[in-house]
Copies of this chain bind each other. A is one copy, B any other.
């Protein structure tokens, strides 16, 4: 689809994923233009903006109110997300925000309300929804090919955190497994979680266990349609990024995710060998690009194709339930509003 004039976007946050988004907006996506990059760290926005002829700013507020900006892409640290979503929405800008959209349900509700009041599109960066294999798997589920879902699985294994000390408390649930929670909710569309139990530990970096600095977790979720789902994460996959999903139901099963870097295969005296994917942006290059292309379409059409604010809230509710389950050491029940009961 060709859009007559490019969609003008501003980017907040010039870290690694911000830099990748900047290049996508400027170079990989037809019909988008990178107007401004904002980051409070001196020089950071400049480094990302300059190669594409975009402006750089230290101040996100300026970017948000800039009339040249039609949509805002937020890839700053997680704790800043909700306030930026609210500010951008109130300024009448379409919003794409990296996960997690918020760290509390109150903040998630504020963000959703602000976008709804302003009538602007609000899309959240659950990029797996745009990965071709995950999208194909979900299409089969929606087509009824697996029947009623009964068992689901989603896992994230990360090749390793350079600096374990940088892991924030509950990051494994709030920033990593939140991807899996969205995937599970999306695969099991229309159902709501009613029970959650999480077992977790600091196996990679045991010294950081205190205060919730966990690196290994298994979460089981019971949904109100009877389905049982497992989400799993770990931060030390030496073989590369490993992201997989599975939906089993009364009529069949779908799986998605492939650890191999390419389809090339080698067979030698020691057996069969293949290269594995090492970088998140290699594994999900297409998904990261397509989710922003969809955002550009959303700005023109008003239709959000990816995860919405409500989806981000639902995934967050599961992350918060995991924390409660770990702290209580037991199964927790969720109310209709996604809050932990009792």
Contact = CB atoms under 8 A, between A and B. Distances in A.
Contact of A216 (B228, B238, B261): B228
Given A151-B232, A267-B276, 10 more contacts: A23-B30, A133-B264, A151-B216, A230-B230, A253-B268, A254-B267, A257-B263, A261-B271, A271-B276, A272-B276
Interface in A19-59: 23, 26-31, 51
The 9 residue pairs across chains A and B that have the minimum distance between CB atoms: A258-B263, A252-B268, A27-B30, A136-B264, A239-B267, A133-B262, A133-B263, A272-B274, A133-B264
B218 A236 contact: no
A104 interface: no
A7 to B, nearest CB: 13
A276 to B, nearest CB: 5
A334 interface: no
A250 interface: yes
Interface string A210-243: 0000001110101000111010101011111010
B237 A51 contact: no
15 contacts: A146-B266, A150-B216, A150-B236, A195-B199, A199-B331, A204-B250, A230-B232, A236-B250, A242-B267, A253-B266, A253-B268, A256-B265, A271-B273, A271-B275, A329-B331
Interface string A80-121: 000000000000000000000000000000000000000000
Contacts of A51: 2
Among A51, A137, A151, chain B packs the most CB atoms within 10 A around the CB of A151
A259 B272 CA distance: 8
B276 A239 contact: no
Chain A: number of interface residues, binned into ranges: 35 or more
Contacts of A157: 248
A238 B251 contact: yes
Nearest to A217: B228
Total copies of the chain? 4
B274 A271 contact: yes
Contacts of A195: 199
Nearest to A333: B329
A65 interface: no
Q: Which of A140, A238, A267 has the most CB of B within 10 A?
A: A267
A272 B265 CA distance: 9
Contacts of A28: 27-28, 30
A334 to B, nearest CB: 13
A171 interface: no
B140 A264 contact: yes
A275 B254 CA distance: 12
Contacts of A216: 150-151, 226, 228
Contacts of A251: 238, 268-269
A40 to B, nearest CB: 24
